Amino acid sequence: MSTIKNANVLVTGGANGIGKLMGLKCLQEGAANLIIWDINEENLFKTQKEFNSKGYNNVHTYVVDVSNVNDIERNATEVLLEIGNVDMLFNNAGIVAGKKSFWEHTAKDIEKTLSINISGVMNVTRVFIQDMIKQRKGHIINIASASGLIPLPKGSVYASSKWAVLGWSESLRMEFELEGKDLHVTTVCPSFIDTGMFKGVKAPLLFPLLQPDDVVTKIIKAVKNNDTILMMPENVNIVPFLKGVFSGKIFDKVAGFLGVYSSMNSFEGRPENERVPEKKSKAK
């Protein structure tokens, strides 16, 4: 079982949403240090101040653009020098490009989504994984999505990024297992979570909007149990089975009836923000 107590924990996209909640939960579990990477300096400041007010003074914040390899490598070097090896990495940062058919996306829409949701996840992992291998211990938690298991009309670019994360995460898990050390990967595949990130989506039948607190509680439990994959809600577990049993046309009829294929029609999401790296901010 993985132990959060006394671990150095890093959460990307940790100044908001479930990333922030996961960070707080790790502090409550006794993490030695919580390292938060986020591109929003204002949210980082507010989150650190809030956690400090709760008595947690072991919070270190960095303004990092995970789509920028140089930004990742520079900040990773500082984390390793100032705090030490990362024992537990939550790859949570991500964006949603939705409410558009694929042909309505610009090259910038595609590049932005893939550079954050795929390249960002892999490169953040890359800069910390060598030390996990050396210390023969570490846990990587990748936030994928149930959309990595099923088509998502009006969300094709987002879904493709999560299919990629799922495939990469599972492959990395096997590489860790072949190493035969205390190295673990947990892949998380939730359906829509009731946060601003998915504002406006219409939850399909049998797949209600997930509540952030419940999601985080289950993620932390899965991490502590070294679970390899976590699908939420539990109904998501039947999707791969149904795809294997039914023909494509029949599966599409079922998914369409449940409202899966129309769930993004009313998607709004968060207001578009400028994603320009700012001056780094970290706790003293």
pLDDT digits (tens, 9 = 90+) for 189-209: 999 999 888 888 888 988 889
Rounded (5°) CA angle 164-19-156? 30
- Angle 107-114/156-179 helices, nearest 10 degrees? 20
Interstrand relation of 59-63 and 88-91 (parallel, antiparallel or unpaired):
unpaired
> Averaged over 79-98, what is the pLDDT?
95
- Given a cut of 70, whether residue 75 has pLDDT beyond it is yes
Report pLDDT digits (tens) over 134-152: 999 999 999 999 999 999 9
> Averaged over 178-183, what is the pLDDT?
90
Give the 3-state secondary structure of residue 140. Answer: strand
- Residue 81: which of 35, 40, 147 has the closest Cα? 35
Report pLDDT digits (tens) over 94-111: 999 877 899 999 999 999
> Averaged over 14-33, what is the pLDDT?
97
Burial class (CB in 10 A: 0-12, 13-18, 19+), 48: buried
- Angle 41-53/17-28 helices, nearest 10 degrees? 30
Structural contact between residues 133 and 179, judged by C-beta atoms closer than 8 angstroms: yes
Report pLDDT digits (tens) over 251-264: 999 999 999 999 99
pLDDT band at 273 (very low <50, low <70, confident <90, very high): very low
Structural contact between residues 36 and 62, judged by C-beta atoms closer than 8 angstroms: yes
Q: Residue 213 is encoded by which pair of tokens?
A: 């607190």
Residue indicated by tokens 């947990």: 186
> Averaged over 221-249, what is the pLDDT?
93
Q: How far, in Å, are 33, 53, 77 from residue 59 at the CA level?
A: 6, 11, 17
> Averaged over 240-267, what is the pLDDT?
91
pLDDT of residue 272: 53
pTM metric for this prediction: 0.92
pLDDT of residue 279: 42
Domains and CATH numbers, the chain: 8-262 (3.40.50.720)
- Residue 83: which of 128, 53, 51 has the closest Cα? 128
pLDDT of residue 181: 87
DSSP type of residue 209: P
Looking at every residue in the chain, the average pLDDT score rounds to: 92
Report pLDDT digits (tens) over 53-64: 999 999 999 999
- Given a cut of 70, whether residue 274 has pLDDT beyond it is no
- Given a cut of 80, whether residue 275 has pLDDT beyond it is no
Q: Enumerate the H helices of the chain as residue ranges.
A: 17-28, 41-53, 69-82, 107-114, 120-135, 156-179, 212-224, 238-245, 248-258
> Averaged over 106-119, what is the pLDDT?
96
261 as an active site residue: the answer is no
List the 8-12 sheet strands across, edge first: 59-63, 33-38, 8-12, 88-91, 137-143, 182-190, 229-232
